[in-house]
Amino acid sequence: MSFKKYSIVISLLFFFLIQDSFSQSSSSPNILWISVEDISTLLPAYGDSSIKTPNIDRLANEGITYTNAFATVGVCAPSRSSIITGMYPVSIGSHNMRTGPHYAFREPEDETYKDYYGVKDIKGRNVPEYATVPPPFVKCFTEYLRAEGYYTSNNAKTDYQFNSPITAWDAIGREATYKNREEGQPFFAVFNHEITHESRIFMKKEDPMLADKSSVHIPKYFPEMPVVRQDVGRAYSNIMELDNQVGEILQELEDQDLLESTIIFFWSDHGGPLLRQKRAVGNSGLRVPLIVRLPGGQMAGSRVEEIVSLMDLGSTVMSLVGIEPPEYMHGKSFLGKYKSSSPHQYAFGSADRFDESLDMSRSVIDGRFVYIRNFRPELPLIYRNAYREQIDMTRAMIEMDQKGELTDGAAYIFMKTKPLEELYDLMSDPDEIHNLAESPEHQVKLKELRKALSAWQLQVGDLGFVPEYDLVNMMWPGMMQPETAPVDFESKDGKIHLSSETEGASIAYQVEGQIGGKHWLLYSSPLDAVKGQKIATRAVRIGYKTSQIKEYIIQ
């Protein structure tokens, strides 16, 4: 065996041994997510030298950088629905952006929906606000953590396409933090950072510019002009502000002596905030940064090229704390005791309705090639969307297109109709502006990815083919939100057993002095029967109304 091959073998053995050692010796580590918005791999850790991000660099130097991480959808709400459930959005009906005011948690009594908010389906029928109703076996993965004794907190964004069940989190909202857990209790904490969101391009345009506009990278699908440099510069400047926020989190963990007992995940919910990035179904909309820092310098500075999905995050957290993920999840664990032995061969993506704009495309990415199938080829690639047109460069490019002034890559993305199929080679064409679908040299790859996409759509039962009005009626019969049945009590063998007639319902309860507060405990096993004790209960299934409170005094 050559020295080079011997070194590779030793490195691989070390990789697996250290990973196995971690999974066995740290059964209850703390987990902290740094969840960020709307950034592609525009970081020095991924080879982009436009700006400096010392704190994110530190995470990469002390952690694992995943170079082929992808969202399932290029926009926040459908993507986040896949993260919290571990399921493809098109498989659970959460693929249209957006279904209702779910960006923040609402108390059950405040969960109301508008009959009309200006959205129509492909047949021109009114689509009301609604909450996605996944199959009954689908849970928020945080419930599995709570059942194992973890304190879960989310500060503060949800955006799951349904209101967060009261069983999903111990604490949720702007004040939510792991600091309120019981002494010695392990935690899973999420901190969402909005500084890089699309809206901050126009909301912060008068703020000081931290990035050097003259040196930021401009994709080939944007024209070289001052307004483009201004808005691209703002996107990078916002990332620099984000980096400072990451540094504050790391410092706080160090100050509390928690850094070396906490696994840190850093990820973005989808690709960048600008045109042909956010909402795109190709690499520009789906590829995201993902860095995981393990305690004690384990795997520090390593880079992993296997394909991972944000949909894998929940199952990976479960695996790291020793919980076997349920078989129904599409997500695969990429670390920990239950690390999948068969990583994703492809990353699959979807694009459907975005606010008032209708479309339907699907994609498959193998790390180098991107295949896109457009089911509405009669529509332009860049459709009108009021929200993103608040960005100056977007309006400028639309105006230039109307005047016929766009050229090269910018003219390409403003195509008036779309081809049925697109194929891009990211090695030679990272900006995805040279369609190889009709290239004779690429027909083998085209057929491979076309077949993979079709098989995936059949496997997951792609609901994108169901007009949205009909989809809502399937989940909310008669266009009325179903309600979870109240909790039933049964006393048996010195235990209190709680149940609900609603299939798939989770149960929350409060005891004595807790009753009337906002914090609900998750029922995961029968409770001790304490004579005279008062218990309050509620049941909730994802997408359903939460049941009325029902109280019981143990006899």
Token pair listed for 302: 């390593």
d(C-alpha 49, C-alpha 239), whole Å:
13
Q: At what angle do helices 54-62 and 226-255 cross, to 10 degrees?
A: 60
Q: DSSP string covering 189-227, please? A: EEEEE-TTSTHHHHHTTTSPP-S-TTTS---TTS---HH
Token pair listed for 213: 């506009």
3-state secondary structure of 288: strand
Element (H, E) at 383: none
Do residues 162 and 542 touch, judged by C-beta distance below 8 A? yes
Token pair listed for 89: 């959005």
Q: DSSP string covering 403-426, please? A: TT---HHHHHHT-SS--SEEEEET
d(C-alpha 403, C-alpha 221), whole Å:
17
Burial 170-191 (b: 16+ CB within 10 A, else e): bbbeeebbbeebeeeebbbbbb
Burial 81-111 (b: 16+ CB within 10 A, else e): bbbbbbbbbbbbbbbbbbbbbbeebeebeeb
3-state secondary structure of 287: strand
Token pair listed for 161: 């396409």
**Hey, which residues are catalytic here?**
76
Name the residue among 276, 350, 266 with its Cα closest to residue 77.
350
d(C-alpha 183, C-alpha 149), whole Å:
12
Name the residue among 300, 298, 294, 332 with its Cα closest to residue 313.
332
d(C-alpha 160, C-alpha 130), whole Å:
12
For the chain, what's the residue count? Answer: 555
d(C-alpha 303, C-alpha 298), whole Å:
12
Token pair listed for 68: 């082929």
| Residue 436 DSSP symbol | -
Distances (CA, A) of 555 to 265, 414, 490: 47, 71, 11
Amino acid at 152: T
Distances (CA, A) of 61 to 44, 56, 69, 291, 303: 11, 9, 18, 10, 10
Token pair listed for 340: 């999948």
Beta bridge pairs of residue 287:
70
d(C-alpha 231, C-alpha 238), whole Å:
10
Beta bridge pairs of residue 152:
188
